[in-house]
Amino acid sequence: MVESTVSKKIGKIVGIHGAVVDVLFPNELPDLHNAMEVLEHSERLILEVFEHLPNHTVRSLAMGNSTGLKVGMEVEDSGDVLKVPVGPELLGRIVNVFGDPVDNCGPISTKEKHPVYKPSPNFMEVNTSDTIIETGIKALDFLTPFIKGGKIGFFGGAGVGKTQLVTEIIHNTTMKHGNNSVFTGVGERTREGNELYLSLKDTGVLPNVAIVLGQMNESPAMRFRTPLTGITIAEYLRDWKKNDILLFVDNIFRFIQAGMEVSIVLGRIPSETGYQSTLASEIGEVQERIVSTPTGSITSVQAIYVPADDFSDPAIQAIFSHLDSVVVLSRKIAQQKIYPAMDPLDSSSTIDAEVLGEKHYKTRREALKLLERYRSLQNIIAILGEDELSEKEKITVQRAKKLLKFLSQPFFTAEKFTNVKGEYVPVAETVEGIDKILKGEYDDFSDEPFYMAGNIHSVEEKWKEIHK
């Protein structure tokens, strides 16, 4: 049953239009977003109030399968918004949008339940941090570092390594820093959720991760509320452990799609672009709760599908405005077997020299300058060949190739597929290695030892092995 804090109100169903259910309350109407439960249904079915209609009627959306509903069935108002169980008991478990376990590992007993709707902290409570969370992944730490309380977006299509990168970040931050994570799967396929669960279990980090799934076959209302459940659990862990929590949302674009479906079934007029008119406020409601407080932080990593690779899409633009770092995963780079398949020039970060440190900032600028020049030379190379370049440009091309290969890295979570031991590379060692490549200290080396290596010293070891 849905928990109640006030006296119950009983209503009757007067209209059913698929997932939309109209309920008549003869006396007092429930508040917007209140959770209501259908009393005579064969399965537990929660309705969420979305609109107040004339004649003492509320329009609600079924958060589940509405098959079997009949006009005249009684509905009980909980007197409050949807509440979900929170606490350390959720770590290592998979739950749905209501906080109910879906992993066949028995019930979850928690001391507290928190509402999924909470106001975001006011300006005075938000603590702006300039501390970087080290992931041990060279490309991310060097080009788009994670700042505590920040938001990072992974843009990419299927098969470019988004989930592998997410599991590696969870593994590294758990093993190195003891961080807890909350993974929120919005519109997740059963296969994706199963693969993630098994991967986390195999690498031994599952006990530090809470997983919330709103699956693709579930109602749009459930998928639409899944991020709020994930954030509610993350907020509790942040304040309880007084630590840094990582919140993974895969896929935030599917959250927007679920909102569009909700808007359509409620009969709302879409905007000119076809998306719901409430798009910006819905994204803001989720993003503005992902913040640092004086006691801890929630750092969010969000996977974002780009429809037709069109970054000018209104949904993508609405997400952009909330992100601190943008990571573009490129299919072209994935085809070269360079993982993580991150495009250094399309990826960006708002972090400045004060946060990065002088050496990191200067090395990053020099590296991007080199890669930009390499990209502009690629058309000439394609037409005339590398031999037609000047000696200076040949050196530029060779260093750029070494740098791109050095940004690849063996993952701990991919060991069983590659038989190559994973590497954790501290950011200082990454900066040192790239600085040496840019200064030409390895101009005599071939590209081969830089591929899937750890720090620069492991490159030197591989070079010695090749030339034994």
Catalytic residues: 162, 188-189
Residue 102, classified by CB atoms within 10 Å of its CB into exposed (0-12), middle (13-18) or buried (19+), is: middle
For residue 182, the cross-strand partners are: 210, 247
DSSP state, 342?
A: B
Angle of the 456-466 helix axis to the 427-438 helix axis, nearest 10: 60
CB-side exposure of 60: number of CA atoms within 13 Å? Answer: 35
Sign of CA dihedral 199, 204, 205, 206: positive
CB-side exposure of 427: number of CA atoms within 13 Å? Answer: 18
Q: What are phi and psi of 349, to 5 degrees?
A: -150, 145
Residue-by-residue DSSP string for 143-212: HSPEETT-EEEEE--TTSSHHHHHHHHHHHHHHHH--EEEEEEEEE-HHHHHHHHHHHHHTT-GGGEEEE
CA distance 77 to 48: 10
Alpha helices in 215-251 (DSSP H): 220-241
Output the CA–CA distances (angstroms, integers) from residue 389 to 77, 396, 397, 418, in the order listed. Answer: 75, 10, 9, 37
Q: Are 153 and 147 in contact (CB under 8 A)?
A: no
CA distance 391 to 393: 6
If you count DSSP H runs as helices and E runs as strands, how many of each does the chain have, helices first? 14, 19
Q: Are 410 and 425 in contact (CB under 8 A)?
A: no
Q: Are 160 and 329 in contact (CB under 8 A)?
A: yes
Give residue for tokens 């290969």: 405
Candidates 22, 51, 48, 50; CA nearest to 37 is 48
